[in-house]
A = this chain, B = another copy of it.
Amino acid sequence: MPKLSDAGEKAVIQHLISLFDPKSLQDIGDDCAILDSGDSFLLVTTDMITRATHMPENASPEDIGWYAAAVNLSDIAAMGGRPIGTLFAIGLPADTEEEWLDRLASGIHECCSRYGVPVIGGDTKENPSLTISGTAVGRVPKSQILRRSGARPGDILAMTGKLGRGIAWELSGDANAILRVEPRVHEGQLLAESGAVTSCIDMSDGLSASVHHLSKAGNVGFSVEADRLPLLDGLKASDREKAMHWGGDYELLFTVNPKKADSLFQSDLGCPVTGIGTVTEDKAIMLLKGDGKKHLPDRGYEHFRGARS
């Protein structure tokens, strides 16, 4: 009997999608589900984080709380939305100390406050292993919504911020490095308002997996220029390849109409934005490095079977 550990998370999710309502199919492929709401779309997302999968041993409860909020806000950001509320269902062992829960809640609250989003509800249950399921609700004007689909040959591939949180964590052992992610909430809205962005995703699964997602959704290929990938301070050029396949950066990866690119790149988005490649008609996803060129494999992290190599 096939087990989930054989299939991997993406296959499991694809399979689940096939079991549900076909009308929802295209929406399930995006970072958030989409509901019609007059002039705007409502965006809704739920992300579960678990002690086993996401939390370094030395993670503080504040860091875990921050992360649980940030990953959900990041999904709203990836579609250009303004988050309007979050909810958290928290499963906890019965012997959890109240102080620990207070600190977890203060991490959730700190992140949501930073981005101006109220915590509007939740649930707590007893569970053998810490499990936090966040829900974020957002809103985006219909004309501005960013989807995974939409990239056109000739568009510029770009990203916010820098790559390499996973490697920074490996080097430092500091849980902050991977848990204190900054969801690009403000930046996502500016990208949506610019009218220059043709597709967008957050890089929670890693750069390589995210490029593959945009490729599949847009039915296009990509050339990614390895030497242009921006790395976090303290990382070396030799870390680039690894950084492409690590998940957890939660930066936005997006494509830009070349005619509108200048004004976008010259505007102040509040964080660095870097052009890292181009969209191609040829469906292949190529990594350009010096004079060389090779296929960029899809090697992001997958739950149930771990990182693929």
Cα separation A213 to B89 with both chains bound (whole Å): 20
Q: A48-B89, A87-B44, A101-B16 known; A128 and B125 CB under 8 Å?
A: no
Inter-chain contacts of A122 with B (CB < 8 A)? 13, 16, 28, 46
* Contact pattern, A 1-44, Cβ under 8 Å of B = 1, otherwise 0: 11111010100110110011101100110001111011000101
Contact of A105 among B16, B28, B44, B128 (CB under 8 A): B16
Chain B residue nearest to A118 in the complex (CB):
B21
Contact of A19 among B16, B38, B106 (CB under 8 A): B106
* Contact pattern, A 88-123, Cβ under 8 Å of B = 1, otherwise 0: 111110111111011001101100110000111111
Q: Are A23 and B123 in contact (CB under 8 A)?
A: no
Contact of A9 among B99, B124, B137 (CB under 8 A): B124
Inter-chain contacts of A102 with B (CB < 8 A)? 15, 19
Q: A4-B92, A12-B124, A94-B3 known; A119 and B50 CB under 8 Å?
A: no
- Any chain B CB within 8 A of the CB of A129? yes
Q: Are A38 and B38 in contact (CB under 8 A)?
A: yes
Cα separation A89 to B239 with both chains bound (whole Å): 33
- How often does this chain occur in the complex, in copies? 2
Q: Are B84 and A35 in contact (CB under 8 A)?
A: yes
Give the secondary structure class of A's interface.
mixed
- Any chain B CB within 8 A of the CB of A144? no
Shortest Cβ distance from residue A4 to the other chain B in the assembled complex, whole angstroms: 5
Shortest Cβ distance from residue A37 to the other chain B in the assembled complex, whole angstroms: 6
Most buried by B among A1, A125, A304: A125
Q: Are B20 and A109 in contact (CB under 8 A)?
A: yes
Q: Are A121 and B42 in contact (CB under 8 A)?
A: no
Q: Are B87 and A46 in contact (CB under 8 A)?
A: yes
Inter-chain contacts of A119 with B (CB < 8 A)? 20-21, 24
Q: Are B118 and A23 in contact (CB under 8 A)?
A: yes
Q: Are A98 and B15 in contact (CB under 8 A)?
A: yes
Cα separation A300 to B108 with both chains bound (whole Å): 29
- Give 9 new A-B contacts, CB below 8 A, not counting A42-B42, A126-B304: A3-B95, A3-B96, A4-B96, A35-B85, A48-B133, A50-B126, A94-B305, A124-B304, A127-B129
A-B contact pairs, 15 of them (CB 8 A): A9-B125, A13-B122, A15-B98, A20-B109, A28-B121, A33-B85, A45-B87, A46-B135, A48-B124, A48-B127, A48-B131, A92-B304, A124-B304, A127-B131, A131-B131
Across chains A and B, which 5 residue pairs bring their CB atoms closest together, nearest first?
Answer: A133-B133, A33-B121, A33-B120, A48-B89, A5-B94
